[in-house]
Amino acid sequence: MSALTAILYAALAVYLGGWYTDQWIGNFSLLLFVLTVITFAYWLVERFHFKPAREAAAAAVETQYAQRRAALATQGITQVDGNLQEARQRVLAQPWWLDWTAGLFPVILLVFLLRSFLFEPFKIPSSSMVPTLTVGDLILVNKYHYGIRLPVINKKIIANHDPQRGDVMVFRYPVDPRIDYIKRVVGVPGDEVAYINQRLSINGKPVPVKPLGEYYDDEMRRYYPQFLESLGTVEHRILVDPQRTPYYGNSESRQFPYAQNCRYSAEGVVCKVPAGHYFMMGDNRDNSQDSRFWGFVPDENIVGKAFFVWMNFGNLRRIGSFQ
């Protein structure tokens, strides 16, 4: 068993090493599930085989010790060498391969359940959601707000709230579901979303915006016009780049499901959101790869609703909730 455990840990090290060096895309949900199953198997074997065997061996040590004391007592010897408690502890001690498998099962199970059904942490990797979220923000995502889903396969089993315009949502990238994306919901099923000349309209009505002055982007080292946008009941800040000319690729590069629902022009794009899908955009409107480029997000790709920055090591003032 120790050799098998060493092989399993070596495989885990190779997997994590390849993930860290970008040799392949890791799947943390699947990894946690596999670790939970493996450590549970070790826990069962420990609970019903190895632990009873060690306890029986400890009982045998006590019996032998008592018999030896009794035999020596008949000879008038009352001082007996050896420490019964120390010997018993050694016999009962878990070997390293059980301590690092069965011993970790409760912790891994708790993390797996919390991450799968309650809250999941994410790190913001790009500036597509500036100024709402910046590179390096560590955020929490509510996993049950949009319904309870089975881990790994992401199948919804209990419905809850539907995504609303203005929600900041984490989802599996439709082009490659192994990758998680974060954007803002701007269109729900049945909406006609238009982004023309850097202005957003929903169902023919321009979304209200108020100028807020300029925003300095530390990453790009330049100022951008900043606006307060109202999507439904949610007010949030957005950036636009007047120098950016809209270009969403050619018709060959826009081969996504329901692409026929979108019309592209030199001024922008207009899309009709199909049933069971959502139109997503970044708050950094002209610096975001979103539904304008790769299409709609199906309901089965939803991960959860982002709601809180719990840490940014470069700027502690970032900690807090956001819209």
Q: Which one is catalytic: 128, 143, 291, 305?
A: 128
The verdict on 62 and 145 lying in the same domain is no
Active site residue 128: yes
Active site residue 183: yes
Model's pTM, two decimal places? Answer: 0.87
pLDDT digits over 27-73, tens only? 889 999 999 999 999 999 999 999 898 888 888 877 877 777 667 66
Per-residue confidence (pLDDT) for residue 93, from 0 to 100: 87
Number of domains the chain contains: 2
Reported as type and span, the H/E element at residue 68 is: helix 51-73
Q: Which one is catalytic: 116, 127, 143, 183?
A: 183
Host domain of residue 163? 124-321
The answer to whether position 45 is within a domain reads yes
DSSP annotation of 279 reads: E
Strand-pairing partners, residue 192, are: 272
Strands 168-172 and 180-187: antiparallel
The verdict on 220 and 159 lying in the same domain is yes
The verdict on 66 and 10 lying in the same domain is yes
Residue 308 has pLDDT above 90, yes or no: yes
pLDDT digits over 133-184, tens only? 999 999 999 999 999 999 988 899 999 999 999 999 999 999 999 999 999 9
Helix (H, G, I), strand (E, B) or coil at 156: strand
pLDDT digits over 132-144, tens only? 999 999 999 999 9
